[in-house]
Amino acid sequence: MKFIPSRIPESPVRKIPAKRSIATKICTAVSVTSLAGTLVAPAAIADAATFTCDPGFYQVITGQFAQLDPHAGDYTTLGPGTSNYNAMGYRSADGLMYAVAGTHLQRIDANGIRTDLGALDIPSGAYTGDFGDDGLLHVSRGGRSWHTIDVDTKDVVAIPELSVYTAIADVANVHGTFYGVSSDGALIRIDPQAGTTVEVGQITGLPESLKSYGAAWATAGGNLYVGRNSGEIYQITGYTTSSPTATRVGSAPATNSNDGASCAYAPPPAGLDDVDGPKSESEPSTAEAAAAAEYYENNYAEISQGFTPATQDAEPEPTPEPVEPAQTDDSTYTASDAGLGEGATCAPGGDEDRLPREQLLAMNVVSSPTTLYQTGFDGTGFDDFTIASGRWAEQSGALDQLHDCGSDYTVLLDLFMVENFRWEASFHGLSGSNQGGLVFNQSSLASRSGAMVVDLAENGSVLRWGSYDARGYYQNIGSATITAPVQGQNIDLAVEVHGTKVAIFLNGAPVASTEAPHAGGMVGLVSSLAAVGFDSAALTALPAPSNTGSGTEA
């Protein structure tokens, strides 16, 4: 997933006309082999500038559409920057890109102009997507909530057999099968024909310090490429076997909020290598793919003149950022990289600065206590939360966070913005200690800066509370010694918040009062260094102490 953006350089990239000429020949071959006019835009969208099926790797980076030039390791921005969208795919039927923003379908033309096509009946926040051989846009949230979208009619169909969370941030359609790389470093294969999702195996050649692989691209000849959010481009070979391999073939500016798309009938862009040569590893699944693969293989000697031999640069050692001491008698708890937007990861990683706190949207305001949300995680609650980090699964009447090797694994209830509220949850340790807790006052999915955390630590024997500073580093505020719950024993944790005033309750009894650095935001659930099951959660909006405020009446 993909939440933390970086600046897109505005310097121009080099264009190589010869590669576009070759791509035009390939697309001509594809059109002749199938039906004439395959890449011609319908009259309904004739005003949109269409893409040539060229060797281009495209990305949306925090709402800015851009083309990657792997040879220069840089981006060219196309069109204006907008609010974020994701789950983008290239549609060969009309030469346009389509994506999702919240619950709305978006169309993006070759000038980077984005058009909102209206609301869809899907859960908000899809960030994994590409077009399938069926001509439909397949979207999901890291594998869960898998849906197909007919972009002409906006008809949506849920595909429950494919709704499996796999921590993939993007997928690419390679000859009828979707592939993506989880932030565990595993190759995930999704077969829409068979209705199966398979973890193929760990990919050899990826860095040990894992990050999200937010962009995936497919090219002629059945080539699969992925972009690591820290800026490396890899080709994945052996994807049809149980021993896939990654070879680094390029670089790009680092970003976390991004998604990739390409025309799978075009060759790789100039500046990237094809490390396993022109012969396709997988069998083409359509006439168009077969024509593109044949042309690519027959003309490989000419096409490959623009390739750059692959190089494997040494992985730099991460440099931890300094953490300023908290102004408290308690020792500062330095959280390791929570990996916001990186899905599941147990790999070691260095601390990194986070985005500043964002401006809040309108608050939910009530005149009397009002239950905004309540769930027992009976099979429907999972889709209401957005995963920021960790490996989460709803099973056996609980929302489980399954990793026990990292800090601040978080899901956010991004349905509400609240300033006066009670947020509570019941949870237990799945194995070993219980170190779960609550997050609140978080400004957005992209930044944890300024948010508050109340959670268990020290094998469940300490209840602590703190906040993330302006750079996203945890600063401890206070703590209390408690009786550590035994494995499987539920505890009830709650906070009552009025602006910046916070009261903390454990098993119904008041424990402490504290001050938050900022008022208002979203709420969520968290665990650190422990696998934890959350059995229930409830959010109640409260009237402001003065019974005044601004926002949206619930």
Each residue's pLDDT tens digit, 227-276: 998 889 999 999 999 999 999 999 998 876 789 999 999 999 988 999 99
pLDDT of residue 316: 46
Task: Give 305's DSSP letter.
Answer: G
3-state SS class at 420: strand
Does position 31 have pLDDT exceeding 90, yes or no?
no
φ, ψ (nearest 5 deg) of residue 218: -120, 150
pLDDT of residue 144: 84
CA distances from 322 to 334, 426, 473 (A): 10, 34, 9
3-state SS class at 162: helix
Residue with more model confidence, 210 or 339: 210
Does position 175 have pLDDT exceeding 60, yes or no?
yes
Residue with more model confidence, 341 or 104: 104
Residue with more model confidence, 297 or 334: 297
Which pTM was predicted?
A: 0.62
Task: Produce one character per residue of 103-138: b if its CB has 16 or more CB atoms within 10 Å, e if not.
Answer: ebbbbbbbebbbeeeeebebbbbbbbbbbbeeebbb
- % of the chain at pLDDT higher than 70: 81
Nearest to 412, CA basis, from 124, 145, 100, 168: 124
Helices then strands, each counted (H, E), the chain: 3, 37
Q: By the 8 A CB rule, do 488 and 428 touch? A: yes
Range name among 46-55, 77-86, 273-282, 293-302 with the lowest pLDDT average: 46-55
Give Rg (Cα) of the chain: 24
Q: Which domains does the chain have, with CATH numbers?
A: 17-306 (2.120.10), 364-553 (2.60.120.560)
pLDDT of residue 336: 31
Residue with more model confidence, 8 or 478: 478
Nearest to 478, CA basis, from 508, 511, 435: 511
For the ranges 61-70, 174-183, 539-548, the one whose mean pLDDT is highest:
174-183
CA distances from 325 to 180, 241, 319, 441, 515 (A): 40, 50, 18, 22, 17
pLDDT of residue 165: 80
Q: By the 8 A CB rule, do 184 and 167 touch? A: yes
pLDDT of residue 254: 83
Task: Produce one character per residue of 420-459: b if its CB has 16 or more CB atoms within 10 Å, e if not.
Answer: bbbbbbbbbbbeebbbbbbbbbbbbbbbbbbbbbbbbbee
Does position 207 have pLDDT exceeding 90, yes or no?
no
Paired tokens of 241: 């076997």
For the ranges 194-198, 268-272, 313-317, the one whose mean pLDDT is highest:
194-198
Residue with more model confidence, 5 or 259: 259
Task: Give 36's DSSP letter.
Answer: T
pLDDT of residue 46: 53
**Residues 510, 512, 517: CA angle, nearest 5 degrees:** 130
Task: Give 291's DSSP letter.
Answer: H
